[in-house]
Structure 1
Amino acid sequence: MPSLSFVTVDVFTTERFAGNPLAVVNVPKGHVLTTEQMQRMAKEFNLSETVILHEGVTGDDGVPEWSVRIFLTDAEVPFAGHPTIGTACYALGTLAKNAGKGRLLCKAGPIDVDYEDGRAKASIPHNVHLHRDAQFNTAQLYGLQPALGDAGAPKAIDIVSPVNGMSFICAELPSLEALAAIEMSAKPKPQLDEGWDTGFVGSYFYVVLKHESGGMELRTRMIEGSFEDPATGSAACALSAFLAMKQRARTMSFTITQGVEMGRKSDIGVHVTLKESLDAVEKVELIGSAVKVMEGSIEYE
C-alpha cells in the first residue's frame, strides 16, 4: 500500500500545543494523487486545514518554490492564512534548510515568502472587497450571539472579503468581556453583494486594544457555526486591510492575538500597504511563526 510522509505544525506560535494546528503531506516528484485522495487525507487528519505539498523545484529566478493545495475536511480552498504561514515555515526552514526566500504556488496565485529566524512573511493574494449592498445589523448579530445583549452593543459591523469566495462579518466589540461572551452559534447567512455571494462566511469579532499612528493591536475570535478557529490569517488580512482603508493610512501594521479563550494563543502579524488613492489595497503581508509537533506517514489507497 502506498504511503506519504507528513508533519503537523502549530502555526502563529513558537510553542507546541498553542496556535493553530496544520497537517502538511509531502508528495515526491512524479507521484500523482487524485483530488479525491487528497480530500480523504484531509478528512482523516480532521484539522481545520491540510496542505498537500508537492516536492520543490527551483524557479526561473533561482528561488525555491512548491506547489500546494489546501483542503478543509470537506472542500478545497484557493487560499488560507495559517496553511500559508505553516507551510512556508516548514518548507523554507526544514526542506530548504533555512532559505531566506521562497514561493508557494496555490490556486489563488503565487505567494512570495521571506523567511528569517523561524518567522515567515508572506505576500498574500488579495482582492479585498467591502460589501456595500449587503447589510448585517445588530438585531441579526444578537440572534446569533444573544449573550452580547448584556455585554454591550457592537461598535461597528462590516462584511469584508479578502478574496472572492471567502467573507467575514467583522464585528467590533466594546470590551474583552464582550469578546469572552461569544459562543458557538448557527452559521450566519448574510446576503452578500452581487457576484460575491458564494463560499465560506465566518463571524470575526474584534476588540481594539491599542491604536497608535501606523499601527493597531487587536484581540479577535473567529466563529463559524459550531467551530471556533484558533488563528484565522485570511480574516486577519481582511480586517487589517479594511481598517487601513478606514484610517486612510498608506501603511499600517497590525498585531492580532486570537485563540486565547480556547487555550491556544496565536500571534498574527499583518502589514498593509494601500495604493496612493488610499481606497484600495496594494499589498498585504501576513507574518507568523510555526513549530513542528508530529511527523509520520499516511497510508492510502
Structure 2
Amino acid sequence: MPQLEFVTVDVFTKTRFTGNPLAIVKVPADRDVSTEQCLEITREFSLSETLFLHEQQTGNDGVPEWRVRIFIAAPAEIPFAGHPTIGAACYALSTLAKGAQKGRLICNAGPIGIQYTDGVARAAIPHNYHRHSEHAFKPEEVYGSHEVMIRACGKAKAIDIVSPVKGMNFIAIELPDLEALALENNALGPQPKPRLDEEWDEGFSGSLLYVITNASTCNDDGVVKLRTRMIEGAFEDPATGSASCGVCALLAMKLKLGRTTKFELTQGVEMGRKSDIGVLLTLNESMDAVERIELSGSAVKVMEGRLEYEL
C-alpha cells in the first residue's frame, strides 16, 4: 500500500498547541496523488486546512520552489490560504531546503515568493482585492445569526464584504470593543451568506469580526493593531491569513495612513489558540488600489509520520 510522509505544524505562533494547526503532506516527484485522494486525506486529518507539498524543484532564477495544493475541511480545494502558505514557507525553507532564506510556492492563485529569517516567514501574497458593492448587506442579516450581539452590543461600526482573491470572500464586521468580540462565543451557529458581486460569486465565504485596538488608530510605531475572529457556520478558525489580508486591504484603503501600512493581528484568543499575524500592505501611488501584500508569521512542528492510502 502506498505511503506519504507528513508533518503537522502550528502556524502563526512559536508555541506548540497554540496558533492554527496545519497538515503538510509531502508528495514525491514520481507520485501522482489525485484530487479525490487529496480530499480523502484532508477529511482524515480533519483540520481547517491540509496542504500537499510536491517535491522541491529549482526555478529558472535558481531558488527552490514547490508546487502546493491547499484543501479545506469541507472538504474542497481552494486557490490560496494564508496559514498554509506561512506554514509551508517555514517548513520548506528551514527544513527541506536546509536553511535557504528565500524560495517560491506555486499555488493555484499564482506564484508566491517566500523568505525565512530569524524564525519568521514572509510571503508576497498573490492578490486581486475586491470590495463588493452591487448588493447592500444590511446589519439585520448579520444580527439574525448573532442574537447575542443584538442584545448586548448594539450595531456594528461597519460591515463590508471583501475578497483578497477571487473565491475567498469575507463579511468584515467591525465591532466596537473586545467585550463585543468575546460575546461571539455564545453566538456560533448559522452564518449569513453574503450576496456577492456577479462576477465574483464563487468559492468560500466566512465572517471576519474585528476590533481596532489602537486607541488612536495607529500607534507611535506606525502599526495598526487588530483583534479578530473568523467564523463560518459552527466553525471558528484560530488564524486566517487570507481574511487578514482582505481586512487589512480594506482598512488601508479606508484609513489612508500612507502608501505602506503595517498591521499586527491577534486571532484565536477566545478559543485558546492565540495567533500572531503580520500584514504589510502597500497601495499604489494614487492610493486607490492594492499594489503589494506581504503576510508574515512563524510556525513550529508538532508531529510527523506516514499515512497509507488506497490507489
What CA distance in whole angstroms lies between the structure 2 residues aligned with 1:111 and 1:37?
25
Partner SS for 1:282: strand
For the pair 1:142 / 2:143, whether they are aligned, the reply is: yes
- Pick closer, same or farther for the CA change 1:187–1:141 going to 2, 3 Å: closer
Structure-2 separation of matches of 1:279 and 1:13: 33
Name the residue aligned to 1:151.
Answer: 153
Shift of 1:118: 1.4
Task: Quote the Cα distance in structure 2 between the aligned partners of 1:14 and 1:189.
Answer: 34
Report the Cα distance in structure 2 between the residues aligned to 1:185 and 1:133, rounded to whole angstroms: 26
Question: Residues 136-195 of structure 1, C-alpha deviation per residue, up to 9 Å, x if partnerless?
Answer: 222111101111121232111111110111111001100100001112121322211111
Residue matched to 1:239: 247
Match of 2:287 among 272, 278, 287: 278
Q: Pairwise mapping of residues 71-110 of structure 1 onto structure 2 (< 5 A)?
A: 71-73=71-73, 74-110=75-111
Matches within 5 A, 1:1-301: 1-73=1-73, 74-149=75-150, 150-182=152-184, 183-210=187-214, 211-212=217-218, 214-248=222-256, 249-301=258-310
Amino acid at match of 1:113: I
SS at 1:22 equivalent: strand
What is the percent sequence identity of the aligned residues? 62
Distance 2:137 2:223 in 1: 27
Task: Give the AA of the match of 1:205.
Answer: L
What do residues 27-66 of structure 1 show as CA deviations (whole Å, max 9, x unaligned)?
Answer: 1111111111111111110101101100101111111000
Counterpart contact for 1:253–1:272, Cα < 8 Å: yes
Q: SS state of the match for residue 213, structure 2?
A: strand
Shift of 1:244: 0.5
Higher deviation after alignment, 146-155 or 260-269: 146-155
Whether the 8 Å contact between 1:27 and 1:52 is mirrored in structure 2 is: yes
Quote the Cα distance in structure 1 between the aligned partners of 2:139 and 2:13: 34
Aligned amino acid, residue 184 of structure 1: L
Distance 1:40 1:154 in 2: 39
Aligned residues: 301
8 A Cα contact 1:22 1:49, kept in partner: yes
Measured in 2, the distance between the counterparts of 1:152 and 1:250 equals 34
Give the 3-state SS of the residue equivalent to 2:90 in structure 1.
Answer: helix
Partners of 2:295 and 2:199 lie apart in 1 by 26
**Other structure's SS at 1:195 match:** helix
Q: Which region of structure 1 is more displaced relative to structure 2, 42-51 or 144-153?
A: 144-153
Q: CA deviation at 1:221?
A: 0.4
Pairwise CA distance, 1:215:
2.6
Q: Which runs of 5+ in 1 are unaligned?
A: none
What amino acid sits opposite 1:254 in the alignment? F
Deviates further, 13-22 or 144-153: 144-153
1:55 and 1:115 map into 2 onto residues whose CA distance is 19
Deviates more, 1:193-202 or 1:18-27: 193-202
Equivalent pair of 1:135/1:190 in contact (CA under 8 Å): no
Alpha-carbon separation, structure 1, partners of 2:81 and 2:35: 18
What's the secondary structure of 1:148's corresponding residue? helix
Alpha-carbon distance in structure 1 between the residues aligned to 2:91 and 2:48: 18
